[in-house]
A = this chain, B = another copy of it.
């Protein structure tokens, strides 16, 4: 049975997240609906990142075993004609039998977008979190640096029964262009809500409420009662997934 991978881009605004839920619009639901017209799927659809409601993707990766009714080279075009315009297939390929979009992934990269102060742009309103007033970008960078490496992110994620919250952050950087900040984090994997809670904690540092040392202490303590905001989903993008 052939195995296929696809790279997806989507605007998550109108969806209740990636994962299928009965009676609710989801990315997986829309994608499987379109796929059923052009392929016989014989395995579940695996996804590299289970994006939550309202989170966007520029490079989500999915895989499935199945039989195509059309040549693989025409799969992306055929699916894009069937999918709503807020979901697009960028790439399709047949892959080795052992490939699994979730389990084979070596790393995921997310980016969170913040605008601090200034006039909001109507064109960013679905994709950028706006916070009032200025932020101390250098202090935020120092705190973010403390998140690199292997840590238990219990303080900055929502716990899931029986699951570890230890993750290995490979890279973390904060780009500032004018009033726009982009917080980019690459890690082996992300715990639930980790990116939105980590960025919320960075804003505490940016506003001068926490020092970078306090950020580091809270991270190391594993205590989640620190009161920092969990940022809303609309500023978050799954940017890219890395494979061997």
Contact call B10/A88, Cβ cutoff below 8 A: no
Contact call B90/A9, Cβ cutoff below 8 A: no
Segment 101-135 of A: residues with Cβ below 8 Å from B:
119-123, 125, 127
A181 at the interface (CB under 8 A from B): no
Per-residue CB contact flags for chain A residues 77-93 toward chain B (1 = under 8 Å, else 0) read: 00010000111111100
Q: Which residues of B contact A228 (CB under 8 A)?
A: none
The closest CB in chain B to the CB of A84 belongs to: B122
- Assembly stoichiometry (copies): 2
Contact call B80/A122, Cβ cutoff below 8 A: no
Q: Which residues of B contact A56 (CB under 8 A)?
A: 123
> How many A residues face the partner with a CB closer than 8 A?
20
Docked CA distance A56–B123 (Å) = 10
Question: Shortest beta-carbon distance, A130 to chain B, in Å?
Answer: 10
Docked CA distance A4–B121 (Å) = 21
Q: Which residues of B contact A86 (CB under 8 A)?
A: 122, 125
The closest CB in chain B to the CB of A237 belongs to: B123
Question: Shortest beta-carbon distance, A121 to chain B, in Å?
Answer: 6
A193 at the interface (CB under 8 A from B): no
A76 at the interface (CB under 8 A from B): yes
Q: Which residues of B contact A76 (CB under 8 A)?
A: 119
Question: Shortest beta-carbon distance, A179 to chain B, in Å?
Answer: 12
Docked CA distance A56–B121 (Å) = 12
Q: Which residues of B contact A125 (CB under 8 A)?
A: 11, 85-86
A sample of 26 cross-chain residue pairs with beta-carbon separation below 8 angstroms, ordered by A number, consists of A9-B119, A9-B121, A9-B122, A9-B123, A10-B122, A11-B122, A11-B123, A11-B125, A56-B123, A76-B119, A80-B119, A80-B120, A85-B120, A85-B122, A85-B125, A86-B122, A86-B125, A87-B122, A88-B119, A88-B120, A88-B121, A88-B122, A89-B119, A90-B119, A91-B119, A123-B127
Beyond the given A9-B121, A85-B120, please list 16 additional residue pairs across the A-B interface where CB-CB is below 8 A. Answer: A9-B122, A9-B123, A11-B125, A56-B123, A76-B119, A80-B120, A85-B125, A86-B125, A87-B122, A88-B119, A88-B120, A88-B121, A88-B122, A89-B119, A91-B119, A123-B127
